[in-house]
């Protein structure tokens, strides 16, 4: 016996979603207006100065940050998302059978190959310079004749 499913939606079916969205926007607007009206309005040179962690700002804020910081952040997100794929697999492990197990082994092999590449490139080494990893343009060599036996 099949259940009848209503596939024609009326605009009134979306009314709860519209109401919830409207209430969320109204709450945000209400909170902003009330905090502006009720909050203190004491302005001074000290209060209006930029503040971060109690440390005085010294130097230029445009100093370059090591690219290793961003690479580490991207790698964390990448491996974190890949681990998220393992939870549904673990829940459905018995239903997926041998094919699901083989697919996860292939997935883990690719994941470990990527992790090995990251370690080989030295992206996770913070305290030492890695000569194999350069992000700047290579220096131009002077015009010198190549020695015999060296590849050009």
Q: What share of the chain is helix, strand, coil (3-state, %, to 5)?
A: 55, 0, 45
Q: In Å, what is the CA distance from 136 to each residue of 61, 71, 89, 117?
A: 22, 15, 42, 20
Residuewise pLDDT in 10s, the chain (152 residues): 566 666 787 888 889 999 999 999 999 999 999 999 998 888 888 777 776 666 666 777 777 777 778 888 888 888 888 888 888 888 898 999 999 999 999 999 998 998 898 888 888 787 765 455 545 555 555 555 555 555 54
Q: Which residues contact 121 (CB under 8 A, 6 or more apart)?
A: 130, 132, 133
pTM of the model: 0.42
């Amino acid at each position: 016996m099949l259940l009848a499913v209503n596939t024609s939606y009326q605009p009134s079916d979306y009314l709860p979603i519209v109401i919830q969205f409207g209430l969320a926007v109204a709450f945000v607007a209400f909170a902003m207006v009330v905090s502006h009206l009720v909050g203190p309005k004491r302005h001074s040179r000290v209060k209006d100065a930029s503040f971060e962690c109690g440390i005085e700002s010294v130097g230029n804020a445009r100093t370059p940050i090591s690219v290793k910081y961003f690479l580490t952040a991207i790698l964390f997100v990448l491996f974190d998302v890949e681990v998220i794929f393992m939870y549904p697999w673990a829940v459905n492990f018995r239903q997926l059978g041998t094919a699901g197990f083989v697919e996860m082994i292939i997935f883990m092999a690719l994941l470990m190959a990527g992790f090995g590449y990251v370690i080989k490139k030295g992206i996770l080494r913070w305290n030492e310079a890695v000569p194999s990893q350069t992000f700047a343009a290579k220096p131009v060599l002077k015009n010198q004749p190549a020695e015999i036996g060296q590849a050009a």
